[in-house]
Structure 1
Amino acid sequence: MKLIKTTVLATILAAILGGNAMATDYKNNPFTLTYDNAITQNEKGKVNIHPVKYTQKQTGIEVVANVYTPANYDPTKSYPAIVVAHPNGGVKEQVAGLYAQNLAEKGYITIAFDAAYQGGSGGSPRYTDKPQNRIEDIRAAADFISQYPGVDAKRLGLLGICGGGGYSIKAAQTDKRFISIATVSMFNTGDARRNGFMRSQKETIQQRLVDIAKVRALESAGGEIQYSPSFGQNMTPEQVAALPFEMYRQGYEYYAQTHAHPNSQTNNTIDSFQDLMAFDVNTNVDLINQPLLMVAGEKADSLYMTQEVFANATGTDNKALFLVPNASHIETYWKQPYVQQITDKLTAFYGKNLNQ
């Protein structure tokens, strides 16, 4: 079915964010991790990784996740924990795993999970991406990690990256188990779906809603599930260069080339858009009264999203905005020294607000 291919593709690309330097090939890692310096085996006295499964209480969907435990982990002791939510189109083996491992190296128990309907987790139709599901993913991860041996549930933090950052802002508004919240390159998926990235598609909102409704009608009459276009691995360099924003170009390189993972699919059900286009991270941000750290690349074309949410977080006086010098949105996923700078900021933030 022809479905305003250009406008839908541009909106999809805006929510698919990553990085762009050759990383660990998932095929050469026993845990299929894609990032540099990833764990290859569990060793005594070092940070270890533990693949786990659990069932979301609200949906009954089985979720797959990786729990990272710090060096010399002792389940009889007490540790702060951090839930890490991945970007749109991403999986736990990519940037979410990178930061989860980095924070485990600083003494935290961390969990990086695949969103329901995505990655290795259950749920059908596949690659449904609705805000209520993504928020419940975060809550369910908190349910699980709070019961993990050695976790002090009273010292629970939240880290959201890209789209996962937007959903983390929403989850933290009402889930006060999270006593400290941080985001990296936060992305307002609803705003991008509705208005286009950098508000570039506002004039086509109503037509896109009509097209989405037509898809819903076809599916309800027994038609096949319809999906948005996705990043393939066969775009030419010229096609990549022609993408309209740096985030799109670097996103293609990250997801389709340098940090590709077979469970990372960058398309969604068209039906998901009905919920996404009515969603906005910028509503009720004042409900966040917990300490808040928001990190973004100084040169990111998505920076306006972080700045808007930060300004609206009027419910907390303990908040900070850190702009990574010279970094783009995508480069915060993989590039040094940016990752180290961000890890240092996160460590100081959680150290102050989780370890008390």
Structure 2
Amino acid sequence: MSTIEHVNIPALAWDLAADIYYPPGFDASRRYPAIVATHPIGSCKEQTAGNVYGTALADEGYVVVAFDASFQGASGGEPRFVEDPTMRVKDISHVIDHLVTLPFVDADRIGAIGVCGGGGYSINATMTDRRIKAVGSVTGVNFGRLMQESFSGYDPVATLDAIAAQRTAEARGEALRVDDLLPASPQAATEAGITEIDVVEATDYYKTPRGKQPHGATSSLFSHQATAVGWDAFGRAEVLLTRPIMVVVGDKPGAFGAYRDGMEIYRRARSADKQLVVLEGFSHYDLYDRPEPTAQALAELVPFFGRHL
């Protein structure tokens, strides 16, 4: 069984809180391949990226680092609850900066994996940080596309106007607007008449003991969402995404769009080695922690990373 070390990793003017998962029988005199695991939007390192995929990959012989995003979880950065895609991508590079200083990590064998929004961030980071040699995306979502569509009511310009007004108000001393991205509980979702599969299952994961964690806040500071509205996880993938990539999605699509995003990046990636894995009968949140779909995903991801790291 893997062991975990809690560390702080320097970012810009603050530290990132991270968990390093060590392989069974870890020997500091050896050199190991390493993988950076990036958590979903509104999540934290203790949830699916760490406790499911991080643990499993460490058990297969990798040093895995799961970390809290800047402004979120136990990491530093103010104000809190900022979901800035450009910073999320930079965070991955800061983690790699730490990995390459560790004598037991082989700097030529570093990979990346991400879940949900973390999948989109991992793909984007792989385009520009050539230290990443292979990337796996599990039910990955392009958060910029999501913000331009359903998260802005399909009116991104009006949303940008509202963000600008709120940011001005906060700069003048008014209260911060922090939105919870989900209903407070499955019962609240039912009472509100919510039936959309991704929202229902997200609530079941994040708002019950199944996946709830102290730092898994599912909260977002509205006044700092403008960068996300103008961002695209897959921009220039036809030119820059040359590393091997594995895209894992379930075939039960939901409003967050992981299925369509998976198909898009598989089509657009320049990578000579690109693989699309569609797991039949499973949804976005099944791939967070349900034993059967996560086992199926890992049955593909483990040999993928084995070939390339």
Please state which band the TM-score falls in when normalised by the shorter chain.
Answer: over 0.9
Could you tell me which residue of structure 1 aligns to residue 217 of structure 2?
265
Task: Confirm whether residue 219 of structure 1 aligns to residue 175 of structure 2.
Answer: no
The one of 201, 204, 208 aligned to 1:253: 204
Q: What is residue 230 of structure 2 aligned with on the other side?
A: 278
Structure with a larger share of its residues in strand? 2
Q: What SS does structure 2 have at the residue aligned with 1:337?
A: helix
May I ask how many residue pairs the two structures share in their alignment? 303
| 2:274 corresponds to 1:319 | yes
CA contact (8 A) 2:182 2:202 kept: no
Give the secondary structure class of the aligned counterpart of 2:297: helix
Residue 133 of structure 2 aligns to a residue whose secondary structure is strand
Q: Is the 8 A contact 2:182 2:199 kept in 1?
A: no
- Equivalent residue for 1:310? 266
Q: Percent identity, please.
A: 31
Q: With CA pairs under 8 Å and 6+ residues apart, which has the higher RCO, 1 or 2?
A: 1
Q: Which runs of 5+ in 2 are unaligned?
A: none
Aligned to 1:76: 29
CA distance change for structure 1 residues 248 and 240 in 2, over 3 Å: closer, same or farther?
farther
Task: Provide closer, same or farther for how the CA distance between residues 322 and 234 of structure 1 changes in structure 2, counting only shifts above 3 A.
Answer: closer
2:17 maps to 1:64: yes
Contact 2:83 2:220 in 1 (8 A): yes
- Distance in 1, matches of 2:189 and 2:84, equals 33
Does 2:139 correspond to 1:185? yes
Q: Is the 2:134–2:245 Cα contact (8 Å) retained in structure 1?
A: yes
Give the 5 Å matches for 1:202-217: 202=154, 204-217=155-168
| Letter matched to residue 275 of structure 1 | T
What is the rounded CA distance, in whole Å, between the counterparts of 1:238 and 1:273 in structure 2? 24
Q: What are the ranges of 5 or more consecutive residues in structure 1 without an aligned counterpart?
A: 1-45
Which TM-score applies when normalising by structure 1? 0.82
Q: Alpha-carbon deviation of 1:222?
A: 2.1
User: What pairs up with 1:143-222 in 2 under 5 angstroms?
Assistant: 143-196=97-150, 201-202=153-154, 204-222=155-173
Superposed CA RMSD: 1.6
Match in the other structure for 1:293: 246
Check 1:217–1:143 CA distance in 2 against 1; reply closer, same or farther (3 A cut). same
What is the TM-score with the length of structure 2 in the denominator?
0.94
Q: CA deviation at 1:328?
A: 0.3
Q: Secondary structure at the match of 1:298?
A: strand
Using a 3 Å threshold, how does the CA distance of structure 1 residues 267 and 347 change in structure 2: closer, same or farther?
same
Q: Are the aligned partners of 1:281 and 1:309 in contact in 2 as well (CA < 8 Å)?
A: no
**Distance apart, 1:232 and its partner CA:** 5.5
Q: Distance in 1 between matches of 2:225 and 2:279?
A: 32
